[in-house]
Chain A
Amino acid sequence: MLEMRRPGRGAGRALIRWLPPALVLLAALAGWEAAARLGWLPLTVARPSAVLRLLAAEYAGLLAELAPTLFAAAWGYLLALAVALALGSLAYLYKSLEGTVLTVGAVFNSIPIIAIAPVLIIWLGLSLSTRVAITAVVCFFPLLIAFVQGLNTRRATAAELFTVLAATPLQRFRLLALPGALPYLFMGMKITAPFALLGALVGEWTGAESGLGVVMLNAMFGLQVDRLWATVLLACVVSTAAYAYVCLLERLALPADLREGEAV
C-alpha cells in the first residue's frame, strides 16, 4: 500500500539498467582485443584475452597476494572511520574544538601521501601498521568533512523543537544531529572506499614483502605486461566491489528517501 512505484520492475528493470553499460564494456574490450591482434597497439598494452588467460592460470597466487592488501585497506579504512567519527562528534559537542579539528584535518590532508609515507616508515618501520596508517591518512579527511557537514546541516525548526523539548546537548546529538548526518556519512564512505585500496597499494610500493602492490611493482620492473595489467584489473574490481559494498550497507541502513544522491 505504501510501496513506491518505479518505472519497470524486477528482472526487467535490472536488465534495462545493466545491459547498456555491459554492452559498451564488451564492445570496448572486443575493439581493444582486435586492435592488439592487428598490431595497432604498442607491446606495453596487453591483450584482454592474454590478461584473462593469465588470471585464470594464476588466480590462486594473485588472490593470495591480494589478501594482505585487502587487510591493510580494510583496517586503514576502519581506523580512519573511527577517528573521523570520534573527532567529528567531539567537534560537534564542543563547538570550540571544531575550528581546530577541521584545520588540522585540512593541513593533514594537504600533505601529499608520497611525502607522508617515508615519515611513517621511519616511525613505524616497514610493517603492516605503516600500510594501515597510510591508508587511514588517505581516507580520513573526506570522511571527517562529510560527517561534520552532516552533523551541522541546518535544521532550524527541528532545533527549535529540541529547545522546546528541553533536550540536553547530548540528546540533541544522539537524536537529531547523528541520525541526520548518516546520509552524509555514507556519501563520504562511498567516496573513500576506493581510496582505501589506493592507500594500501601506495603503502606497498613504499616497501612490503607481499601484496598486490608488490606484484605490480615486480611486474613493472620485469616488463611482465600481461601480469601488470592483470593486477590493474584486479585493483579495479576490488575498488568497485568496495564501493558497491558500502552502497549495499547504505541501502540496508537507510530507506530510499533518506539516501543522498541516489545513483544506482
Chain B
Amino acid sequence: MAALAIDNISKTFDIDGRSVTALDSVSLDLAPGEFGALIGPSGCGKSTLLRMVADIVSPTSGHISVAGEAPRKARLAHHIGFVFQDATLLPWRTVSENIRLPLEVVGGRRAVDPAAIQALVELVGLAGFEHARPSQLSGGMQQRCAIARALVTSPQMLLLDEPFGALDEIMRFRMNLELLRIWAESRTTALMVTHSIEEAVLMADRIFVMAARPGRIVDEIKVDLPRPRRLSQIGEPDFVALVERARKSLFGDMVEMLQDA
C-alpha cells in the first residue's frame, strides 16, 4: 500500500468572486519510507497540496489517502508531521517545551518521556539549548527545533514546506544532510517543497516538477543516486545531469528561449 496516494486532486479558490484553479488533476504516489520533493514556480500550489495532505484545507475534487486513511483520520490519529516555512515555535516555550508540545496535545503531560525529548534534542543538534527560548536561537536552530517537534510523535508522514527557505547556502546544505540523517533513522515517508533544484536532487528519491496556471505536475524525475547522500556528490556527473534534467522541465519553454537569446 502506498504511504501517500494523491489521486486526481483539483482545488479552486474563490478570490473576489472569481474562481481560480490552484491545482488541476494532480496525482502522485509515495512508497513507505520514500522521500519526495515538490518543485515548481511560486504560486503553482505546492503549499496548497501539502496543506490538503495534512487536512488543513480540503480538495475541491479528487482523493487523498495517507497510509490507506483519509487525511482527516490520519491527522486525528497524529500520523502527520508538518514543518512550516517559518519555524512557528511558541515564543514563551523553551526548546524542549516546544518539542514536546505535540505530546501534550496527544496525551496530556503524562505521556511525555523526558528521555525521548532529550534524544530528539540531540538528534537535531540542539544539546545545550534545551532551556533556550526561540528568540535566543538562530533561524537554522529554530528550524531544527521545528523539525524535532514534527518528529516527536513519530509520524508516518512528514510534510515539509520549504523548511530551509530562510537559510544561507552553507547552513542549508548542512541542514539538508541532517534532515536526511534524521529521516533515515526515523523511517518516515517525507514530502518536501523546495525552490532549490540542487536541494531536491540531493535529498529526494523522486522529484515532482510542477507548473503554474493551473498548478499541475509536468514531470517526475527518479533520483537513483546512492545513499547516504554526501555533499561531494553535488559535483559528480550523475548529479549534474539530474539537476540539468530538472532545470529543463522546470523552466519548460524558457530554456529554449534563453538558448536562442
- What is the interface of chain A, defined by CB distance below 8 A to chain B? 2, 157-158, 160-167, 171, 175-176, 179-180, 182, 254-255, 257-258
Contacts and interface: CB of A to CB of B under 8 A. Distances in A.
Contact of B105 (A157, A175, A180): A175
Interface residues of B, number: 25
A182 B92 CA distance: 10
Interface of B: 51, 54-56, 75-76, 78, 80-82, 84, 86, 88, 90-92, 101-102, 104-106, 132-133, 135-136
Contacts of B82: 160-161, 164
Nearest to B74: A166
A164 B153 CA distance: 12
Contacts of A255: 92, 133
Nearest to B87: A157
Contacts of A171: 104-105
B156 to A, nearest CB: 14
A158 B105 CA distance: 14
A37 to B, nearest CB: 54
Nearest to B131: A2
B90 A163 contact: no
The 3 closest A-B pairs by CB, nearest first: A164-B82, A157-B88, A257-B135
Contacts, number: 57
Contacts of A180: 90, 92
B102 A165 contact: yes
A167 B56 CA distance: 13
Contact of B136 (A2, A163, A167, A182): A2
A165 B92 contact: no
A171 B90 CA distance: 14
A174 B123 CA distance: 29
Contacts of A254: 92
Given A2-B136, A160-B84, A166 B90 contact: no
B154 to A, nearest CB: 14
Contacts of B81: 164
B93 to A, nearest CB: 8
Contact of A175 (B55, B78, B101): B101
B8 to A, nearest CB: 24
A182 B81 CA distance: 28
Contacts of B91: 257-258
A176 to B, nearest CB: 7
B88 A166 contact: no
Contacts of A258: 91-92
Contact of B76 (A157, A162, A166, A175): A166
Contacts of B106: 165
A2 B105 CA distance: 29
Contacts of B133: 255, 257
